Amino acid sequence: MRTRFSPTYPCLLPVPANISDNTINYAGRYRSRARIPVLTYLHPVNNCSITRSSQPLVGVRNNRSIQDEKLLAAIFSTSRQEKSANGSPPSLEHESSNSSLEDQYGVQSDFDFSNAEELEDEVISAVQSAPKEPKPQVYGAQQHNLIVDARPTVNAFAMQAVGLGSENMDNYKFATKVYLGIDNIHVMRDSLNRVIDALKDSDVTSLGPNRDQLARSGWLKHITGLLDGAALIARQVGLQHSHVLIHCSDGWDRTSQLSALSQLCLDPYYRTLEGFMVLVEKDWLSFGHMFRHRSGHLNSEKWFK
């Protein structure tokens, strides 16, 4: 789909073929900055996807969007097999519509309908005595599609007071949701400043870094949360053969980090120099990461004087 309805999205958005442009437009009204769930990675073996978006506009009234639910359901069902258990395509009509009671259960079709009780008993007896087809055995990992909210649970619920929030899973029964507890950019920036304070004199003096100050910065906690989240996403896609939707608030900071790190785990191409360049362009530049604001060079001029 080629669109410009979201100014922070690329012009080409891969979406399921059975989703109309009208559904896309209405779904965009339910997501912050119209950042709808769109594909960012498709596993080459099992066709399971990593999609990304921004937070939904749930609010205190628990608003919902049928179009958003339809879009996400279509994304999460794209890798399902359309064949039956014996490998043949499913028929459009049930077999009973193409065969008579006589063919299926040995019941004569020339009934005397004046005696309905005997007719009912004979049909029930024939159905109960018919051989039952065994249920197909299912082996291996089963799909457990996942919605990953990168924020702390308290933050996600607090956003409902201003008309935002997180998905009500009663409306997304085809998936489960986890919160990763990764703090926002303001907490991250404050933590990074504490790291800089602890390290700033270690290069110009014989004193080592202030280890107590480093521990109090909380920086390792943030890094651990990101790595644990990326590992969870990689396991869901690569091992559990499941789809994953990632979002945080606006979907361009923590979402980009989790998406890129999980793809580095899943795909060796992104661990090459060329692949890493593609990954940065695809998951950071194209999806609106604000490098100028987030790099913090202008905010940290005092450290370079």
- Residue 269 belongs to a domain with what CATH number? 3.90.190
DSSP 5: S
CB atoms within 10 A of CB 165: 22
Per-residue pLDDT at 150: 96
Q: What's the confidence (pLDDT) of residue 296?
A: 64
**Sole residue written with tokens 């290069």:** 203
Asked if 72 contacts 57 with a C-beta cutoff of 8 angstroms, the reply is no
> Amino acid letter at 136?
P
Cα gap 151→39, rounded to integer Å? 21
112 lies in a domain? no
Ligand-binding site membership of 165 (annotated): no
Work out how many domains the chain is built from and give that number. Answer: 1
11 in active site: no
pTM: 0.76
Asked if the structure places residue 221 within a domain, the reply is: no
CA distance from start to end of the chain: 49
SS3 state of residue 165: coil
92 domain-assigned = no
Q: Is 185 annotated as belonging to a binding site?
A: yes
Instruction: Please report whether residue 90 resides in a domain.
Output: no
Q: Which domain holds residue 52?
A: 21-79+140-183+237-299
User: Could you tell me if residue 135 is inside a domain?
Assistant: no
- Which three-class secondary structure state does DSSP give residue 147? strand
Pairing relation of β-strands 38-42 and 146-149? unpaired
98 among annotated binding-site residues: no
- Residue at 210 is within a domain: no
User: 6 lies in a domain?
Assistant: no
253 has binding-site annotation: yes
In a domain, 204, yes or no: no
Query: For residues 303 and 200, is the Cβ–Cβ distance under 8 A?
Result: yes
What parts of the chain have a pLDDT lower than 70? 1-4, 80-124, 126-142, 296-305
